[in-house]
Amino acid sequence: MAQSHPVKDSFVNNAWYVAAWDREVTREPMARTYLNQPVTLFRREDGTPVALEDRCCHRHYPLSQSKVEGNNIRCGYHGLLFDAAGVCIEIPGQDRIPHDARVRSYPTVEKYGWVWIWMGDPALADVAKLPNWWWCEHKDWAFTKPDMLYIPCNYQLVTDNLLDVTHLAYVHATSIGTAAITEFPIAVDRSDEHVRMTRWVIDRPAPPMYQTFGQFPGTADRGQIVEFRPPAFTVNFAQVADHGTGAPEGQQGTRRIDLMALSAPTPETETTTHYFFGFVRNFGLEDPKLEQMMAVNFVNVFKEDVGVLTAQQMRMDSMPDAPQIDIRVDIPPNAARRIVNQLRAAERQTPGAVANAAE
């Protein structure tokens, strides 16, 4: 049935988001906005990342245009000095520091090559709530770390895209897509905390890029497993094996290609996204040519989606009240949206949990 497209505010506050690649955060303060909130990121002397509201509490000057002094940051306008917790510890020209001379600080954690930020109630920040992407740190896996893609679209459009395999045939026709894939059924399982979509494409030629990687002599069996965890973490798992070697039934050790795309789109605003992603693989770990193919060819596949998502958001913006219909391939993305909506509804019923949010 036709329905209007999603409401505007779609943010879950009490969650970890990727703030930056670890290589982006230095002793020079940087500026980036998450969930509509401007933040400055820098590192303490011991390297610990710090995330503060990017606005001096005195006269609104961006701290990202200020100077780090030791573990503190000094406003570039009137010289107020803030510690890593956002507390003002020095005001030029006076001894007394008002109790409300502070800026918001955000919990951060460094993990899997990324600096993560918690945008909601700091008391709820828990490292255990990070996604378990252990491959990024395991010696048997190689981790390709492309630069963030900035996409002028709502972050959930990125997740929709990752949870849909139909578009491979249309958007990625010349790289990883084949028309065959829509012939095979999707199995979906879900809980309050995940959506997992599985499809096996049996006895078909491997798409061009996989063929290059895997050198399949005949047809292949290809598994596409996409797993979503809220608010916006998606693992696209691809396994490609010679046809008939039992991979779909769970036979071990038969796969030639075993790789995952890890996605963590972070909302900047309702209509713009910092899209962080990476690839892990358990084959050809030291192969520089293969690494090059991952870092270039595979990244290019992801870049093919940027124009699509940009155009989609552009039209949603120009026709905000237009209805939309659902089709069968929307089952996984719609299930993911339901989880996000439940989290948001729960959060909105616990006012204290988002008390600090500057939404």
171 belongs to the binding site for a copy of itself (CB under 8 A): yes
The piece of 14-22, 162-170, 205-213, 347-355 that touches a copy of itself (CB under 8 A) is 162-170
Q: Are 18 and 116 in contact (CB under 8 A)?
A: yes
Size of the site for a copy of itself (CB under 8 A): 53
**Of 94-102, 121-129, 190-198, 224-232, which segment contacts a copy of itself by CB under 8 A?**
94-102
Q: Nearest 5 degrees, angle CA 52-CA 54-CA 60?
A: 130
Long-range (24+ apart) CB contacts under 8 A made by 202-205 are 202/243, 202/248, 203/243, 203/244, 204/178, 204/180, 205/178
- In sequence order, what DSSP letters do the residues of 197-231 get, joined into one string? EEEEEEEEPPPHHHHHHH--SS-EEEEEEEEEETT
Least distance to a copy of itself, CB of residue 30, Å:
14
Q: Does residue 11 contact residue 35 with C-beta atoms inside 8 Å? A: yes
- Interface with a copy of itself includes 21 (CB under 8 A)? no
* Residue 153 vs 261, nearer CB to a copy of itself: 153
- Sole binder of a copy of itself in the list 47, 92, 218, 246 (CB under 8 A): 92
CB of 209 vs a copy of itself, minimal distance in Å? 20
With contacts defined by CB under 8 A, name the span among 136-144, 164-172, 248-256, 343-351 that binds a copy of itself: 164-172
CA–CA gap between residue 23 and residue 157 (Å, rounded) = 27
Nearer to a copy of itself, 79 or 152 (CB): 79
Sorted by sequence, the CB contacts under 8 Å of residue 62 that are 6+ apart come out as: 31, 38, 40, 54, 55, 56
Footprint of a copy of itself (CB under 8 A): 1-2, 5, 38, 54-55, 57-62, 65, 74-80, 91-94, 98, 100-101, 160, 164, 166-167, 169-171, 182, 307-308, 311-312, 314-316, 318-319, 322-329, 358
